[in-house]
Amino acid sequence: MNPPDSAVEVAPGVHWVGALDPGLREFDVILKTANGTSYNAYCVRGSAGVAVIDTVKVSHADDFFRRLEQVARYDEIQVIVLNHLEPDHSGALPELMRRAPQARLYISEQAQMMLKGLIKSEELAYTPVTTGDSVSLGDRTLRFLHTPYLHWPDTQCTYLEEDAILFSCDVFGCHYCDPRLFNDRVGDFRFSFEYYYAHIMRPFREHVLAALDLIEPLALNLIAPAHGPILRDAPRAYVQRYRQLAAPLLHNEAAGRAKTLLVFYISSYGNTERMAQAVRDGAEEVEGVRVSLYDLQGSEVAPFVDLVEEADGLVFGSPTINGDAVKPVWDLLSSLAAVKVKEKLGGAFGSYGWSGEAVAMVEDRLRGLKLRVPVKGVRVKLIPTAAELSRCQAFGRDLALHLTGQVTHKIISMEELNAREQAHA
Amino acid sequence: MPKANVTFEDIGVTVTVPAGTRLIEISEKVGAGITYGCREGECATCMMRIVSGMENMSERSVLEDKVLQENMAGRSNRLACQAQVLGGEVVVRPG
């Protein structure tokens, strides 16, 4: 075991100079951390200078500087790379720049505005970099890979070419604190690795795939992430695991031949349920749409989230109780940040007794999640009549036509829009 | 009064409006997938994309320009609550 305060050699001339935070039990509000976490920072020595890659959370800056001072003098530092500016990586950056004023800061192009937001200084000198850019340390070269949205827009990876070491930032990372540091020595951290992916990377699946296209061709002796164990044993296995995790959890066997529309509903007296059935019936009239109806009372949220990930359209039926949509609807709607829903089709409907706010509230939430909400929802006071059920059916049909791109483009005037709004007021 | 046509790509609707109309006045009424926050050009919640016809939009004000830059907006982005349609054809979408 390494002495608790020492820098740890990762490869010749490459040291871990990060910090351990074993007591942390919740990260960024959204993640539980049963084993705490580590803030991994690295120091790379080249013949023409030293590079520091990432720093640590400000509360752990003393540990970082103590370790850094064991392997480099501040006046040797020529390069500082911040792969991602979230405060758990950039916390010690201002002090590091003060101690090593000659060093040049390298960040991704997308990180520039974030840097100004974090450091609050207009006089910062830095070099924005992207895929293909590199910086020389004499006999060693750091090459940058632009990997946006893993998990912030600014995220990049840095590749030490001569040693085939990938400083991967949050990619391939996890919240698992173990002073033994290396994946072949620490405890079993697989659940943390998978959990981290599911909560941090999964919403950005397309970006994960793009990043893997950049990373997979690289020779990889070691992956040095910004959190969790350093992956020196079989590093490529973790790249392969990301490729598997980036596949949808539920394979949509209808994807090739039909658009999928999910109708979720909850109903206290069966009125919203009858509306849901009518919405389904209407949508089914349209060729090339696979419609599924789900009672939210009959399931936990998580399996629905997996379904939503692969669906083309989502419709929510909710009664209005005390001026609001009901909790199971919000539970599902508040869980969709875990998957990509942007630009899917959305809609809402529901029966109500007094006021009927639920439909508009759900529509606003869907727009907030960047879904398209092209068809105004249907509200019915209490028990739907046959005519009202026909409206629900037409609503379902219209949604299905939008899904399949069969809607005729509408042209209306501002006067008509104003008149329509007054009629609904 | 001169007119302009604004097409909302996400919902497949074109609205004919008087020149000078702010995008938010149309997008809210037509139900386009744009969300709104302060409505005063400060929060960037209503940032949207001009797919074509930027030449038919009002110039960015100093405020709009600053807020767009702070939010890492691209050249085709505008704030619905600030940008006015001056004439001709404009195609927009959320984001």
Q: Which chain A residues are closer than 8 Å to B20 by Cβ?
A: none
Cross-chain residue pair B14–A402, CB shorter than 8 Å: no
| Structure confidence at residue A5 (pLDDT) | 82
Cross-chain residue pair A409–B30, CB shorter than 8 Å: no
Q: Which chain A residues are closer than 8 Å to B47 by Cβ?
A: none
Q: Which chain A residues are closer than 8 Å to B72 by Cβ?
A: 110, 113, 153
Q: Is A153 on the interface with B (CB under 8 A)?
A: yes
Asked if A85 and A23 touch (Cβ cutoff 8 Å), the reply is no
* Residue among A110, A343, A414 whose CB faces B72 most closely: A110
CB-based contacts of A47, cutoff 8 Å, min separation 6? A137, A138, A139, A140
Q: Which chain B residues are closer than 8 Å to A412 by Cβ?
A: 13-16, 30
Query: What is the full per-residue pLDDT of chain A (425 aa) written as tens digits?
Result: 555 689 999 999 999 999 999 999 998 888 899 999 999 999 999 999 999 999 999 999 999 999 999 999 999 999 999 999 999 999 999 999 999 999 999 999 989 888 888 877 767 789 999 999 999 999 999 999 999 999 988 999 999 999 999 999 999 999 999 999 999 999 999 999 999 999 999 989 999 999 999 999 999 999 999 999 999 999 999 999 999 999 877 777 777 789 999 999 999 999 999 999 999 999 999 999 999 999 999 889 999 999 999 999 999 999 999 999 999 999 999 999 889 998 899 999 999 999 899 999 999 999 989 899 999 999 999 999 999 999 999 999 999 999 999 988 889 999 998 888 777 65
* B68: nearest CA partner in chain A: A113
* CA proximity to A20, closest of A6, A42, A2, A39: A39
| Structure confidence at residue A278 (pLDDT) | 98
| Structure confidence at residue A55 (pLDDT) | 98
CB-based contacts of A325, cutoff 8 Å, min separation 6? A316, A318, A350, A357, A358, A361, A362
Cross-chain residue pair B11–A376, CB shorter than 8 Å: no
Q: Is B10 on the interface with A (CB under 8 A)?
A: yes
Q: Which chain A residues are closer than 8 Å to B33 by Cβ?
A: 367, 370-373
| Structure confidence at residue A253 (pLDDT) | 76
CA A318 – CA A330 distance, rounded (Å): 10
Cross-chain residue pair A414–B10, CB shorter than 8 Å: no
* Residue among A367, A407, A421 whose CB faces B33 most closely: A367
Query: What is the full per-residue pLDDT of chain B (95 aa) written as tens digits?
Result: 789 999 999 888 999 999 999 999 999 888 888 888 888 898 888 999 999 999 999 999 999 999 998 888 889 999 999 999 999 999 999 87
* CA proximity to A39, closest of A177, A144, A145: A177
Q: Which of B72, B91, B92, B93 is most worth mutating to test chain A (most A CB atoms within 10 A of its CB)?
A: B72
Cross-chain residue pair A373–B11, CB shorter than 8 Å: yes
- The string of DSSP codes covering A310-349 is H-SEEEEE--BBTTB--HHHHHHHTTGGGS--TT-EEEEE
3-state secondary structure B8-74: ECCCCEEEEEECCEEHHHHHHHHCCCCCCCCCCCCCCCCEEEEEECHHHECCCCHHHHHHHHHCCCC
Q: Which chain A residues are closer than 8 Å to B70 by Cβ?
A: 113
Give the ipTM of the model, two decimals please. 0.86
* CA proximity to A155, closest of A166, A168, A141: A168
* A374: nearest CA partner in chain B: B11
Structure tokens at A2: 């390494």
* CA proximity to A374, closest of A341, A411, A356, A401: A401
Give per-residue pLDDT as tens, A356-380: 999 999 999 999 898 999 999 999 9
Q: Is A409 on the interface with B (CB under 8 A)?
A: yes
pTM: 0.78
* B13: nearest CA partner in chain A: A410
* Residue among A113, A364, A411 whose CB faces B16 most closely: A411
Instruction: Name beta bridge partners: B50.
Output: B92
Q: Is B20 on the interface with A (CB under 8 A)?
A: no
Q: Provide the shortest C-alpha distance from residue B17 to chain A (in Å).
A: 5
Q: Is B33 on the interface with A (CB under 8 A)?
A: yes
CA A409 – CA A418 distance, rounded (Å): 19
Asked if A225 and A231 touch (Cβ cutoff 8 Å), the reply is yes
Q: Which of B1, B14, B22, B29 is most worth mutating to test chain A (most A CB atoms within 10 A of its CB)?
A: B29
Asked if A84 and A156 touch (Cβ cutoff 8 Å), the reply is yes
Cross-chain residue pair A372–B35, CB shorter than 8 Å: no
Q: Provide the shortest C-alpha distance from residue B78 to chain A (in Å).
A: 16
